Amino acid sequence: MAEPKAKKQSTKMASAGGGKAGASPLHRYRSHTCGQLRSADIPQDVRLSGWVHRVRDHGGLLFIDLRDHYGITQVVADPDSPAFKVAETVRAEWVIRVDGKVRERPEGTLNRELPTGEVEIFATEIEVLSEAKEVPVPVFGEPDYPEDLRLRYRFLDLRRETLHNNIMLRNEIIGSIRRRMHDAAFFEFQTPILTASSPEGARDFLVPSRMHPGKFYALPQAPQQFKQLIMIAGFDRYFQIAPCFRDEDARADRSPGEFYQLDVEMSFVTQDDVFAAIEPVMHGVFEEFAKGKSVNSPFPRIPYDEAIAKYGSDKPDLRNPIEMQDVTEHFRGSGFKIFAGMIDKDPKVRVWGIPAPGGGSRAFCDRMNSWAQGEGQPGLAYIFFRSPTEGGQEPDEAAGPVGKNLGPERSPRARFSELLPCPWLLRELPVHYF
């Protein structure tokens, strides 16, 4: 049976011969990767293996872009090449082995976007290692196509440059975190995946036990119990890139089902010790992968009360320039009886002003009011501060139902410190409702 197989393989090969006399034999599949060759490699005889990324026929001159994990190299075959007959048969995503000579690309054909863009391989032999049917989702060019197709043909989707780079970026980030944590004298421990259920914030994923019918293992929502065992045992500093399994809906910052987190524990430390240990790790990782963007150091520390007062959240996105202000005193005893009455009845009530630059229209304020009601709030009131050229009003005159009822002594913009020339959306809430 071996003889027909060898005969069949020979039909998929074209060779220029055995190479230079005395030359050391090449590796079975490659002497270089597809992202390795440069001008300094001219005029070596090389061997590459990879996927056919694209084939171009320029009037009998064939160009094959050969791709592997490391990059792309251009392969050339002309009618005088002994590899030309096989080169004519190859199609996208076939896996081939190419032998050839490194040469400089002709003037005007250099590709500065590729690390290998100064050279090409003149093919002397091509072996087809694996044929492929016409692919249902293209790899070259990375066009958009439906999500169900991407998942069905995931092995093709993962060949796309963007996804490939994303996966490798994750690998580099994880490696950077590990290196920095080890440098900070932390010890990495792996904790079990199959465990017992424990009260957590979400529902467990359960795995039935074959050896104990009717009983189940639970996948850990976090390595909480195991890392506590490690700390109680006296290992002092623990970390893990921990897989977490939670049967919960997707969140804006968390994938559904499973995700990974940097899990950290320290012994005999204060809050400042934790900041001092972790901030250099986070700063270093972000700076390493920020592509030249600046990373603040030290990280700003915002007290909880200040964060709630300014942003309405204890994890604000500081890229958003909008900050709330407590304008309760402007409404205490004012002519706007709804707010004034609530302030008098409950000392915990606060009125927060939210600037809305560029939102100077009644339609915008109505939309925001509907949104607030959809979030379970009674609603939003608003004040327009218009310039003297708008509608003939006096300078800094407040407009809208709140402005008219607030009273002339309270309505000028100057009494709302540093207010922007825009509508202000006002809401009254007890502080502890945030």
Q: Where does the pLDDT of residue 347 fall: very low under 50, low under 70, confident under 90, or very high at 90 and above?
A: confident
| Rounded CA separation 381/295 (Å) | 38
| Rounded CA separation 190/196 (Å) | 17
H/E/C letters for each residue in 180-225?
Answer: HHHHCCCEECCCCCCECCCCCCCECCEEECCCCCCCEEECCCCCHH
Q: What pLDDT score does 416 carry?
A: 47
Q: What percent of the chain has pLDDT above 70?
A: 84
Q: What pLDDT score does 402 carry?
A: 76
- Residue 1: HSE in the Cβ half-sphere, 13 Å Cα cutoff: 0
Task: Give residue-wise pLDDT tens across range 76-110.
Answer: 999 999 999 999 999 999 999 999 999 999 989 99
Q: Where does the pLDDT of residue 228 fall: very low under 50, low under 70, confident under 90, or very high at 90 and above?
A: very high
Task: Give residue-wise pLDDT tens across range 255-297.
Answer: 888 999 999 999 999 999 999 999 999 999 999 999 988 888 8
Q: Which of 193-202, 244-253, 379-388, 415-424 has the lowest mean pLDDT?
A: 415-424
Q: Where does the pLDDT of residue 380 fall: very low under 50, low under 70, confident under 90, or very high at 90 and above?
A: confident
Task: Give residue-wise pLDDT tens across range 154-185.
Answer: 999 999 999 999 999 999 999 999 999 999 99
Task: Give residue-wise pLDDT tens across range 37-48.
Answer: 999 999 999 999
Average pLDDT over residues 410-434: 41
Handedness of CA 245, 250, 251, 252 (dihedral sign): positive
Q: What percent of the chain has pLDDT above 90?
A: 55
The token duo for 58 is: 């320029």
Nearest to 327 by CA among 354, 357, 355, 353: 353
Q: What angle do CA 351, 356, 362 make, to 5 degrees?
A: 95
CA-based R_g, the chain, Å: 33
Q: What are residue 244's phi and psi, to 5 degrees?
A: -125, 135
Q: What pLDDT score does 424 carry?
A: 45
Check if the beta carbon of residue 283 is closer than 8 Å to that of residue 276: no
